[in-house]
Amino acid sequence: QVQLVESGGGLVQAGDSLRLSCLDSGRTFSSYAMGWFRQAPGKEREFVATINWSGTRTYYADSVKGRFTISRDNAKNTVYLQMNSLQPEDTAVYFCARSPITKIPFRDGDVGSFGSWGQGTQVTVSS
């Protein structure tokens, strides 16, 4: 059974940076598109970024475009989310997930194609 394990979250101040990692325990990581999502308290889970299997195509939510960068290292079965210029509204639990289909551009209904969700990592940004 595939497991995705996120790490790298923490408590930072506004303007700081964090890099999240998501390690895929499966053998087919390089065959899947990957995505980052987040869920703030009292809010629905929302899309953050996605990357295709080879890392050549990416797509971001408008709220993070220009500040966050998704990347992957298929040799390490890991997808990353570099988060710069963090703001209090970025506070959330961040999850990674994988999809057999690249969803670029990402539409609201596309979250259904993602599975094998990780347990999440908390990111808290203080003002």
- For the segment 116-125, what is each residue's pLDDT rounded down to a tens digit? 999 999 999 9
Q: Are the C-beta atoms of 81 and 23 separated by less than 8 Å?
A: no
Does the structure show a pLDDT above 80 at 2?
Answer: no
- Residues paired with residue 96 on neighbouring β-strands, in sequence order: 36
- Dihedral in degrees, nearest 10, Cα atoms 36, 39, 45, 49: -20
Q: Of the candidates 42, 37, 61, which has an alpha carbon nearest to the alpha carbon of residue 121?
A: 37
| Average of per-residue pLDDT across 83-99 | 97
**pLDDT for the residue numbered 74:** 97
Quote the CA–CA distance of 72 and 34 in Å, as a whole number: 9
